[in-house]
């Protein structure tokens, strides 16, 4: 019986040794930083972040709606390119407007120019099926600001907007109307 005990003891030591080495290797490997090939890893799209472009905004900036603006509400239209769930994800996002940049961190125009024009609200927004009353607009006409990037039409976040009552602006993006307030 002593012979079998000795074999069992030696095998148990080997198994424990293999388990211990495996645990040490697993722990050491798990503590390393993931290799990204020098690139920054992107957060998943549903991660709750508010991108804030680190753009210097000067007090004498001549852009018509200078500053950082937060998305506080949205209005879907019959031609909206995204659904309710995606629109909700925009709440709390920041859009920057300055002479140096317009947009959000992932969609930024770094050479904007602004074109202001007056439009008859009901005519201009008839394709969207939106009435002026929805945004508290009481004027027949509304001043629309379009953003161009590098002197070309731009379709990024913040590319077209208009002012409404108080400090609120409305950005038209992918067929959705996002209400923004100063951040």
Give the model confidence (pLDDT) of 105-163 as tens digits: 788 999 999 999 999 988 888 889 888 888 888 888 889 999 999 999 999 999 999 98
Six-digit token string for 99: 């002479």
- Contact by Cβ (8 Å): 53, 103: yes
CA distances from 85 to 76, 81, 82, 90 (A): 11, 12, 8, 9
- The model's pTM is 0.68
Q: State the residue for tokens 């004027």.
A: 139
Higher pLDDT, 87 or 139: 87
In which element (H, E) is residue 85 found?
helix 84-90
pLDDT of residue 32: 40
34 pLDDT above the threshold of 50: no
33 pLDDT above the threshold of 50: no
Average pLDDT of the chain is 76
Average pLDDT on 65-87 reads 93
Given phi > 0 = left and psi -120 to 50 = alpha, else beta, which region is 9?
alpha
27 pLDDT above the threshold of 50: no
Q: Among 4-13, 54-63, 115-124, 154-163, name the one with the lowest average pLDDT.
A: 4-13
70 pLDDT above the threshold of 80: yes
């Amino acid at each position: 019986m002593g012979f079998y005990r000795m074999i069992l003891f030696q095998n148990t030591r080997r198994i424990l040794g293999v388990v211990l080495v495996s645990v040490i290797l697993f722990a050491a490997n798990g503590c390393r930083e993931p290799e990204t090939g020098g690139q920054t890893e992107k957060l998943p799209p549903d991660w709750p972040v508010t991108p804030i472009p680190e753009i210097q905004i000067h007090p004498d900036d001549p852009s018509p709606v200078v500053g950082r603006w937060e998305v506080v509400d949205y209005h879907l239209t019959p031609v909206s390119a995204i659904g309710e769930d995606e629109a909700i994800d925009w709440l709390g996002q920041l859009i920057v407007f300055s002479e140096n940049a317009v947009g959000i961190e992932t969609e930024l125009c770094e050479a904007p120019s602004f074109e202001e024009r007056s439009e008859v609200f009901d005519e201009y927004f008839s394709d969207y099926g939106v009435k002026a009353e929805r945004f508290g607009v009481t004027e027949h006409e509304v001043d629309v600001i379009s953003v161009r990037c590098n002197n070309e039409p731009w379709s990024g976040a913040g590319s077209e907007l208009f002012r409404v009552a108080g400090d609120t602006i409305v950005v038209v993006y992918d067929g959705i109307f996002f209400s923004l307030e100063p951040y």
